[in-house]
Amino acid sequence: MLDEVSRALAEHAQDIFSRGFQHLDSKGVSNEVAEIKSINGLQKFLYLVVTLLLEQRDGIKNSRDARLLWDIASSLIVGVLRGYGRLDAGDMQGWVLLRRSLRTWLPPLGFTRGADALQLIQDFPSTERPDDIFVTIVPALLGVEKFGNRFHGADFMLPRLSRVAIGEPPRLDLTYTTSESGSTRELIVSCFFQGTVAEARVLAEAVALRASAVVVKTRGLAKTWIDGQQASPVLDASDVLPIAEQTENFSEMVRASLETSAHAQSDLIDADSLGRNFAREFPLEDPDFRKLFLVERHSVKRLLEQFEEGSGIHLWCSVRRSGKTTAVSSLSDMTARSVVVFQTMDHQPNQPELNVFLKRVRDAFAARQGIAEDFFAKVVRECALSNAPIDYEQRKVVLIIDEYETLFGMILAYTSDDVGLRYLVAQPLLSQMVGFAASNLLVFMGQRPDAHLILSSQNQLSPLVRQHNFPLFEHFAGATDTEFTQFLRRVLTEKLPFAPSFADVVFHETSGHPYLTVNLLVDLCDWLIQNRRKEGHGDLDSAVYAAFAKDRLSQAALERSPYYSFFHGMLSEYLSELGRRNEPWLYAVSSILIQIARKHPKSFGSSLPGFQQIAAPYGPVARATPERLLASAVMSNFLKESDGQVFPGIRLMARLAASAVPNVN
């Protein structure tokens, strides 16, 4: 039955991806963009299967259900990949694209059974077969599968994570959770899958992950280093040929290494001590791996639905690293009434389909000629073809432009250097955007609410912009299943369960800001390790958090804390003289945060009259009254107002502002 399901999914994948290529070709989309879009679609399809596996994983209680879940997911993943390999992409087959895009599909492959992975690799044409994967990753998966056969009854094993580590040489790290006699353990298997490794340092870094097996092809000093190690988990695949029989034989060495590691773990006296910072493993800087941790943002969908039936120009602003890009890029699809097209002004070399708008606008200014009357309409159409589902015509378009400050900064820079470009490109472009928004939706996203206020004497766009508060992760006091609690579980894993009171106090501190929440939890986990907390020693609660906050969140502690370096650097830049001159709004609101935190260190709240006194010196800098500063800062999550009191939008950010030292310019 699993084989039949896998074959059906392979046929489906081959059909939909082949038709996608044909459609894009008929619309004149470049081969580069078509290939990137296709590979991104494959990745979404694969991660859908992986997400379903991970959602079901927590409910598994015995080996039978664990094997069945794993078998189903493996069959589906391999089916999708096999179908994609067989697609006809013009002058090439899908196997060629798979060979070019290993990092896209190897993480999902890490969730498959070894036997399924072996069959898939054997399906590759000999000219495109990734032989290094054949002799490292495939035997690792086979060895894991054989090791997993030891589990019966209430004991079981399941994959938990699979990621391509950042850096070179490329390495796939696989994490498995075992449940045996009521005790859970993790096994890590690392596989180098591209070329040979010559540096001993590279192997030492993999071993430092406490890997139970490191599978690699070596040469030079790396090979010498292995020979000098005692009881090393490193397994050298240099002499293994890409032949099924040799791969099967080598997999026995992987199985034996896992057995040895599992036996050693069971002999540890203090095996339940918290020794790993699970929060640090959350992939803040790895957008591909982060897809395994995504929380569905119903709050963002509701915000879009509020004005989806209408038209106009809307602005979503929030503090940096609020999850805007991640949340909104996942909405880039067709809804019942419209098609959502996502573009970013931030350079994305690996996703050129997200930079179509950036490239066309930049080219228009560089050409120094007047733009056509339908310039913006044609650019939107190209963006939609590069991003949207096939049948988007006749639907309203929701165009979301991320990092919108760059767009208006670019317009200002070009027109300052050449006044003629104001009349040839800038003002016609702004006018065409207004025309587009008469029957569609144009959404700007960024941090500053004032970036569009340029060329004011003839800017028809700015007066039409309506700002909305972009929601951070949503939470309600005492609730156990909210966007925020789901996010906390992704970060802390099942190893660190928490009570509702813990979620409430962490939310009170971070307001659901994802980046700062992870920074805080990394700090918390290190504090727990230093205080020798045991795994399974009860749920984290508000009392644990209070003790942590007393030690680690004072101004003195934050001034020397290594956990918030990004925000310390960002705030120091905003508070500098250069920030005052170039980013006056950010300078003003950051300075206000400092004053609130320092004048009200316990409540972090100021009365409205008190706020007006605090904000008065900064109003002229930002060219706004205290009232307007408050309104725009509330909409951008820098501040919040409740019952006549003004509070920081994110308390932890106010603490960091108070501990930051302005840059000297």
Rounded to an integer, what distance in angstroms lies between the CA atom of residue 371 and that of residue 563?
Answer: 48
What is the average pLDDT across 54-74?
A: 91
pLDDT for position 280: 80
Is residue 29 helix, strand or coil?
coil
C-alpha triplet 249, 255, 260: angle, nearest 5°: 135
Q: Is the pLDDT of residue 288 over 70?
A: no
Sign of CA dihedral 23, 29, 32, 33: negative
Rounded to an integer, what distance in angstroms lies between the CA atom of residue 485 and that of residue 291?
Answer: 17
Rounded to an integer, what distance in angstroms lies between the CA atom of residue 38 and that of residue 596?
Answer: 50
Is residue 2 helix, strand or coil?
helix
Q: Is there a contact between 144 and 114 (Cβ–Cβ < 8 Å)?
A: yes
Quick one: tokens of 467?
A: 């700002």
State the chain's mean pLDDT as an integer. 87
Q: Is the pLDDT of residue 432 over 50?
A: yes
Rounded to an integer, what distance in angstroms lies between the CA atom of residue 217 and that of residue 240?
Answer: 9
pLDDT for position 139: 96
pLDDT for position 323: 82
Sign of CA dihedral 38, 40, 41, 45: positive
What is the secondary structure of 312-356 as a DSSP string?
EEEEEE--TTSSHHHHHHTT-SB-SSEEEEEEESS--TT-GGGSH
Q: Which amino acid is at 396?
A: K
Rounded to an integer, what distance in angstroms lies between the CA atom of residue 29 and that of residue 388?
Answer: 12
End-to-end CA separation in angstroms for the chain = 68
pLDDT for position 266: 64
Nearest Cα to Cα of residue 451 among 402, 524, 516, 390: 402
Quick one: tokens of 242?
A: 């890409």
Work out the pLDDT band at 308, boundaries 50, 70, 90.
low
Question: Which residues have C-beta within 8 Å of that of residue 186, sequence separation ≥ 6?
Answer: 160, 175, 176, 177, 178
pLDDT for position 362: 95
Q: Is the pLDDT of residue 310 over 80?
A: no
pLDDT for position 496: 87
Question: What's the pTM?
Answer: 0.77
What is the secondary structure of 430-464 as a DSSP string?
HHHHHHHHTTSEEEEEES-TTTT--STTT-SSGGG
Question: Which residues have C-beta within 8 Å of that of residue 266, sequence separation ≥ 6?
Answer: none
pLDDT for position 269: 42
Rounded to an integer, what distance in angstroms lies between the CA atom of residue 56 and that of residue 424?
Answer: 57
Q: Is the pLDDT of residue 336 over 60?
A: no
pLDDT for position 332: 56
pLDDT for position 532: 79
Quick one: tokens of 584?
A: 């006056």
Rounded to an integer, what distance in angstroms lies between the CA atom of residue 289 and that of residue 80?
Answer: 19
Quick one: tokens of 326?
A: 């991640």
What is the per-residue pLDDT across 356-414, written as a single tens digit (0 to 9) for each?
A: 999 999 999 999 999 999 999 999 988 887 776 555 666 788 899 999 999 999 999 99
Tell me the C-alpha to C-alpha distance, in Å, between residue 261 and each of 60, 223, 257, 274, 535.
24, 22, 6, 18, 20
Q: Is the pLDDT of residue 286 over 80?
A: no
Question: What is the Cα Rg of the chain in Å?
Answer: 27
Residue with tokens 């005492």: 478
Q: Is there a contact between 262 and 187 (Cβ–Cβ < 8 Å)?
A: yes
What is the average pLDDT across 30-55?
A: 86
Per the model's pLDDT, the better-predicted residue between 617 and 207 turns out to be 617
Q: Is the pLDDT of residue 490 over 90?
A: no
What is the per-residue pLDDT across 212-247, written as a single tens digit (0 to 9) for each?
A: 999 999 888 888 888 777 668 889 899 999 999 999
pLDDT for position 334: 47
Q: Is the pLDDT of residue 333 over 60?
A: no
pLDDT for position 295: 65
Q: Is the pLDDT of residue 70 over 50?
A: yes
Q: Which residues pair with 648 in a beta bridge?
A: 639
The percent of the chain in helix, strand and coil, each rounded to the nearest 5, is 55, 15, 30
pLDDT for position 415: 93
pLDDT for position 393: 66
What is the per-residue pLDDT across 583-613, written as a single tens digit (0 to 9) for each?
A: 999 999 999 999 999 888 888 999 999 999 9
